[in-house]
Amino acid sequence: MISQDLLDILVCPLCKKPLVLKPGGESLRCAECRRVYPVRDDIPILLVDEAVTEPS
């Protein structure tokens, strides 16, 4: 599980907006650009190439 302290400082590497942990804790979502970044072994993978874009 990602700590709240870490979540408070994580931002989207593309648009620099805050990220939100999705239910289940398996990914982080940016509300601005709708990119979803995976979380593997409790480590956020904040690479734009690894992200998928969710439909609006």
If one counts the domains in the chain, the total is 1
Round to whole Å and give the CA distance between 10 and 42. 14
- Where in the sequence is the domain holding 8, given as residue range(s)? 4-53
Percent composition of the chain: helix, strand, coil (DSSP 3-state, to 5): 15, 35, 50
Q: Residue type for 19, please?
A: L
pLDDT in tens, the chain (56 residues): 889 999 999 999 999 999 999 999 999 999 999 999 999 999 999 999 999 999 87
Round to whole Å and give the CA distance between 40 and 33. 21
Q: How far is CA 35 from CA 2, 9, 17, 23, in A?
A: 18, 17, 11, 15
Q: Tell me, what CATH number does 45's domain have?
A: 2.20.25.10
Residue 1 has a pLDDT of 80
